Every structure is written in C-alpha cells, then in structure tokens.
Amino acid sequence: MIDMLVLRCNFSKQANPNKLGELEYPMFRLETLGIPLEKFIDKDGEEMAVRHPWERIPSYFEGMAFKVFDHRFDALDCFYIEIKASPAKIMQGHNVFGSSDFYDCSMSMLNLLSDTYPELFALLDHASWSLVQIDITFASRAKDNNEARAFINALQNVSYGHTKSRTGYDGTAYFGKKNSRLKKIKVYHKAAEVTETVKKNVKKSNAAELAGIYTNELLDFSAGMIRWEVSLYHRYFERLGITTNLNDLFKTN
C-alpha cells in the first residue's frame, strides 16, 4: 500500500509585459490567496515578512498538510506548494491496510486541495505536479504480537551490503542513513502503533466516529503484523532516470 505521499506543484508563470517572450511568477501578495499567514515583526514594530506555515486541511476522515513556499523575491526564484498525507487515512480513516493505486491515492489529495482552495488551485501549473516522496509498505505476519516484536528487535542486528542497520527501539528497526535524501527503510510492529492511535483518538473531537473506524476487528487484524516500509525521495528516482512528473507517472501506473 501507499502510506505517504508528498506532492509539489509550481504556480503558473505569466508573460512579462516589460520583457517580450519571458515568463515570470505572478506578483500578487500571499494575502490574496485566502490562506492562513504568519507575520514577523522587527524590534521597531515593522512588518518584516509574511509566510504560510504548514496547515492542516481537514477531510471527512483525516487531514492533509499543506504549505505555500514563496521564494519569488530571493535567490531561489521559485513559487510552489507542497501537500503531504497518508492517502489511506484520507480515503478510509486508517492505514492498517490500503490502496497501492498511485493515481487514486494522488487524486484523493489533489481533490481535497481543489475543494478547499479552488481559487488557489486554479493558479497552479498543473503540468508541473511532481512526486517528492512516497512511502510504500507491505506486511507479513508473526504468530502473535510477542513473536512479531522479537523478530523485529532481532533485525536491529542485521545488515546487508551497503544497507546497514541502525539502533531502533522496541518493536522498530531502521536501515540506512538517518538523514538520507535517497531512501529510508523501516520495519515496525503495526499492532503497537494502532494501539497508540486508538489511545490518542479518544481525546479528539471526532472520537466517536474514529471509534467506528478502529473497530475490534481492525485491531485483531493488526495483531502480529510486521510492517515493512520504504520511503523513496525524488533524488532516488532521478538517479535511476525515472520521471517524478505526476502526469507521466499516471500514464505508467
């Protein structure tokens, strides 16, 4: 299943009236986008900068993180957005299992953004949507939770070739560099994670609804589950000569 997606899209450029044939990012202020903003004030009380912090766009089941990155006025000269979420949680409220369909998972996030900020969505260069990160997970099963935890803890001492193990904690094993910008590998005990989620759900405003999702049957299904997860970043695909453009990926999905 696809457990996490981070997607990026540039704002559309416009013709520069002063330089024929050149395109530039629109010069409107962030305040016109209808997004929540943070203002920075200097010691004299003057406004220094305005930025869009990461915000949580709510959906029926689970929220999606969203941020506008505005570098039109510095050396980076770029203007884009990022969205990130677990498609499984957006579509069904949990990620004990879920879809592996890249198109469906991506569209669940794009549709949520479009429904929430239709005017902003219309300003984007949709041909530039790209994949920044994808977390892919598969599962195997142990006899019970104790056996699953023992197996994963034993993996903390296993390495293969250039893939080295890192010190994890009870029920979780990591492989590869912690700060790698290519890929990260993680093996963990899913039932323990689900149990912690259920505890946190009790304190949420939609606790009753979440209780209807995290049923006893779902908890039983997660028992003994060993989750194998790899996080792949855009640099990994670029090194392999694989496109990260969403439209191209949709064609090959």
Give the Cα separation of 167 and 186 in Å (integer): 11
pLDDT the model gives residue 207: 84
Give the Cα separation of 173 and 128 in Å (integer): 36
Give the Cα separation of 218 and 197 in Å (integer): 12
Three-state secondary structure of 35-66: CCCEEEECCCCCEEEEECCCEEECCCCCCEEE
pLDDT in tens, the chain (253 residues): 999 999 999 999 987 776 666 888 988 889 899 999 998 887 777 777 789 999 999 988 889 999 999 999 888 899 999 999 999 999 999 999 999 999 999 999 999 999 999 999 999 999 999 999 999 999 999 999 999 999 999 998 888 777 778 767 788 999 988 889 999 999 999 999 999 999 988 888 788 888 899 999 999 999 999 999 999 999 999 999 999 999 999 987 6
pLDDT the model gives residue 217: 95
pLDDT the model gives residue 204: 81
SS3 state of residue 86: coil
